[in-house]
Chain A
Amino acid sequence: SQQGEEDPQALSIQEGENATMNCSYKTSINNLQWYRQNSGRGLVHLILIRSNEREKHSGRLRVTLDTSKKSSSLLITASRAADTASYFCATERNFGNEKLTFGTGTRLTIIP
């Protein structure tokens, strides 16, 4: 299975602190994406990083990608209570493949 593994499975931090989540995957990829899922809801796309990129920013989000280690990290700076959710990485194996393989997810809890 190409399913990614995320680390940690659960993370609790104080509001205002930074949160870092890691994702590892098994095969070569075209891109890696991060999604957020609030409890009992659908997934929302956060950010996409291509295989030839090493770092990307979007607002309070910073994503890194290390294709040699087959890993990615998502950093959320200055966390807010509204950031409480599950975060999933997902990989697209080949361009135009149309399919994503999701990681196991990190459950983030922000303590007010």
Chain B
Amino acid sequence: DAMVIQNPRYQVTQFGKPVTLSCSQTLNHNVMYWYQQKSSQAPKLLFHYYDKDFNNEADTPDNFQSRRPNTSFCFLDIRSPGLGDAAMYLCATSSTGGETQYFGPGTRLLVL
């Protein structure tokens, strides 16, 4: 089945220790998104890729970076995680001109 996969499902890191979250998709969609969702809040868009074009949200901290080496994979790098970065990180995809987004199961990040 075509899907969006996120690994790992749970990630524990130490304060200030860089961490990378990964997302892969078998939908062959052009657009990939990274959202941050804190408890009982709406998903907040961090950035998205339209093909290889990177689109950062104005209020996304510099601490968050992303890489998309090919159509299928996208990575979220947190350079120096703080306690406030503990959250669920959701990856999503959509097709060109498509409106519906397809979400992965999320990675829950815990910062100690």
> Does A42 contact B31, Cβ atoms closer than 8 Å?
no
> Does A104 contact B105, Cβ atoms closer than 8 Å?
no
State which of A13-21, A43-51, A52-60 sits at the interface with chain B. A43-51
Q: How many residues of B contact A (CB 8 A)?
A: 25
Q: How many residues of A contact B (CB 8 A)?
A: 25
Report A6-44 CB contacts with B as 1/0, cut-off 8 Å.
Answer: 000000000000000000000000110101000011111
A30, A35, A42, A104: the one contacting B41 at CB < 8 Å is: A104
A41, A42, A45: the one contacting B100 at CB < 8 Å is: A45
Q: Is A110 in the interface zone, CB < 8 Å from B?
A: no
A92, A99, A104: the one contacting B48 at CB < 8 Å is: A99
Chain A residues with CB below 8 A from B97, complex form:
95-96
> Does B99 contact A102, Cβ atoms closer than 8 Å?
no
> Does A3 contact B42, Cβ atoms closer than 8 Å?
yes
Chain B residues with CB below 8 A from A96, complex form:
97
- Which positions 3-44 of chain B face chain A at CB distance < 8 Å? 4, 6, 31, 40-44
Given known pairs A40-B108, A41-B106, A42-B106, the reply for A31 and B99 (CB within 8 Å) is yes
> Does B94 contact A88, Cβ atoms closer than 8 Å?
no
Chain A residues with CB below 8 A from B50, complex form:
98
Q: Quick one: closest A residue to B100, CB to CB?
A: A45
Complex Cα spacing A41 to B31, Å: 21
> Does B42 contact A42, Cβ atoms closer than 8 Å?
no
B interface list, Cβ under 8 A from A:
4, 6, 31, 40-45, 48, 50, 88, 90, 92, 94, 97, 99-106, 108
A interface list, Cβ under 8 A from B:
3, 30-31, 33, 35, 40-45, 48, 88, 92, 95-96, 98-105, 107
Interface pairs A-B: 7 shortest CB-CB: A42-B103, A102-B42, A43-B103, A42-B105, A45-B100, A42-B106, A102-B43
